[in-house]
Each structure stands twice: as structure tokens, then as C-alpha cells.
Amino acid sequence: MSALATEHHAINLAQGFPEFPVSETLIELVYHYMVKGHNQYAPMPGLLRLRERIAEKIATQYLKKVNPETEITITAGATEGLYTTIAALVRPGDEVVILEPAYDSYIPAILLQGGIPVTVAMNRDFSVDWPAVEEKVSPKTRMIIVNTPHNPSGMVFSAEDWQQLSNIVQKHGIWVLSDEVYEHIIFDGLQHQSVLRYEALARHCVAVFSFGKTFHATGWKVGYVVASAALTQEIRKAHQYLQFSVHTPTQYALADFLENENHYTSLGSFYQKKRDLFLRHMQTLPFQPLKAKGTYFQLFSYKNYTDFPDRQFANYLTREAKVASIPISVFYQDKTDHHYLRFCFAKHDETLIQAAHFLSQFL
């Protein structure tokens, strides 16, 4: 969709990346550490001082004590964290339960290990049908992958969701891979419910995070994986040969930045204003929003406007209305189409207003 947006000079609300500058302080810190000569390989699990800051952040936010030496690994973005975890824990023939619509990196990573993705559709309001999930669990199930706040729907897990998942996980002895890259982008007074809060899941879970989403720096590709020492030991065996280590000066810079700034605590209200502005300007359109509770994605249903397949409709809007979005059917293996489009609102206010204006002129 991004290529199509460029070709047709359309506003790109398709790909999920923020259009805001990275903090100058953080950029200066990276530069500082480069000039100071920290340009060689970092330790394989990541710089200890960065892992210590992360452990402090987790203790404050999720009231969970994590050992920075044995339970945190710095990865090349969440993508490498997810892949590495799957490569370490999934064997040929193992089944992995995925809730659909699902972020696109999970299924290829499972297939590359010879694993079998077993998909469960979320409900029409994108809540999770836990009895349906349990029905798909078999003796071959190794892992379930969850994502909250959820891309693409913008829904978030409640404590009740974690409770239901916890029951299934403990009953069947499977692992949870929890993708929490949007942990700080959550709205309307809701609190992110990290898997790390749940002591009963501690031995069973791997949580994956990304600095890219938190510091508007998706191109830096720095993230981290939190898991018990036993699971971390296995995960690092894969990380060592996939990536070995992550950009050194950036790790030093992030460690300092985390110590002195907590920019991320205001990220929710920053994006909530964007969501609300976008929703206000889109309200004259013949679309129904499914108000995002988190992430920087807003879904709209166009089913009362047309029954065009969503891929075709997204293409059409890109070419004709000059606004690119993502059709939700691409997040399903069987291309289920409920006539939803996803728009990324991590953009300047003028961009969002202009996109809504283009669409309202056209529809």
C-alpha cells in the first residue's frame, strides 16, 4: 500500500510509523557515544546498564522484579525478539495458536521452524473468544501468541482476558508469547495489562517490547525480550546466531535516556488527542469507527457504504481519494473480509485533517 500511495501521491495512512521527530537529547546521546568510541560489538544479551534501566522500568510499571542479567535480552527490534523466541521454542510439528487478525510476522516465523500455525478468529468486536481458543489447543500445542494493545484492531486485553488465558496455559502447559510493542499507547484512562503482571504466568511467558514505538524511532530497530532465566537461556541461543548483538551507541544512549526522561508516560495522551482529532474529522464520512483503545491505528467499517472487497476498496481510495489505508483481510490467513480499513494516525494534525478532507470530498 505504501508503494501504491507513493505512485498515486496519496497520503500514506497505511504503514504504521510515526511522523514525529526523535528527541534531540536522545539523538545527541547516540552521537556522544559514537564520538566517545563505543562503536564495537555490544555484549550478546545487550548492554547491562540498559538492561538494568529496563528492569527498573518494569518494576515501576508492572510491579514485577526481573533479573537484568538473566531475564532481559536486547534485540534488533521486536521483530527479531519475536522471531528469535519462536526459533528457540518451536520445533517441527509443534502447533502455535494465533489470534486473527494477526500481525504479519508471526505466521512466517512459525512456518520457517516447521511449526503449524493454528488460527482462531477474534469476535466481530475484536474481543477474544476464549472457549474457541481452548478448543484449538491440542497435545501438540506449544505456544500461543497474543498482542495487546492489538494491531490492527486497537483493542486491549482486560484483566479478565489474562485470567482466561492463564487458566488455559496452566491447564495445558503451553507458553505465551506476548507482543506488547504498543504498551505505552493506550487511551481513556486504561492501563496496559502486561503479561508480566501475572505471577501465575511467570514461568510460561515471553514478553516482547520495542523502543521504536515508544521513542518515535522505528528505524532504529531496538527492542527487548523478557522471560524467565530458563527460557531466556534458550532464546539467547537463537539470538546469538541470528543477530549476536544490537547497535552499541544506541544502547548506551537509551540507557541514559531511560534514566533521566520518562517521555513514554505522556505517549498515551499524545496519541489519544490524535485519535480524537482524526475521529472528529472523519465523522461526516459514511464509515463507522471502532474506537481504538490503544495503538496508533483506527479501524473504520465501510459495510454500510459498499460491499466492495476491502483490498479493492483500499486500492480504490488510494488511487482516487488519495488516502492509503490497510485492508484488514490481509491480517487473516484465509483473507476473511468484514469490510474494515485500518488508518494509522501517528501523523501530524494537518496530515490527518487533510486525509479526512480528501475522503469526505470523494465519498
Ligand X SMILES: Cc1ncc(COP(=O)(O)O)c(C=O)c1O
Name the residues that contact ligand X, by CB under 6 A: 16, 77-79, 103, 147, 151, 179, 181, 210, 212, 218, 221, 223
Bridge partners, 81 (sequence order) = none
Q: How far apart are CA 11 and CA 5, in angstroms?
A: 7
User: 183, 192 in Cβ contact below 8 A?
Assistant: yes
Q: How far is residue 350's CA from residue 343's CA, in Å, rounded to a whole number?
A: 15
Nearer to ligand X, 73 or 79 (CB): 79
Measured from the CB of residue 209, what is the shortest distance to ligand X in angstroms? 8
Smallest gap from Cβ 96 to ligand X, in A, equals 15
Residue number, 218 or 298, with CB nearest to ligand X: 218
- Closer to ligand X by Cβ: residue 314 or 359: 314
- Smallest separation, CB 109 to ligand X (Å): 11
Q: How far is the CB of 210 from ligand X (least distance, A)?
A: 3
Residue closer to ligand X (CB basis): 179 or 256? 179
Closer to ligand X at the Cβ: 33 or 83?
Answer: 83
The span from the CA of 126 to the CA of 49, in Å, is 39
Provide the minimum distance between the beta carbon of 224 and ligand X in the complex, in angstroms, as a whole number: 10
Which C-beta is closer to ligand X: that of 212 or that of 249? 212
Kindly list the distances between the CA atom of residue 66 and the CA atoms of 56, 63, 119, 207, 218, in Å, as whole numbers in the listed order. 8, 10, 31, 12, 25
Is the Cβ of residue 330 or residue 363 nearer to ligand X in the bound state? 330
Nearest residue to the partner ligand X, using Cβ: 77
Q: How far is the CB of 74 from ligand X (least distance, A)?
A: 12
Least Cβ distance, residue 149 to ligand X (angstroms)? 9
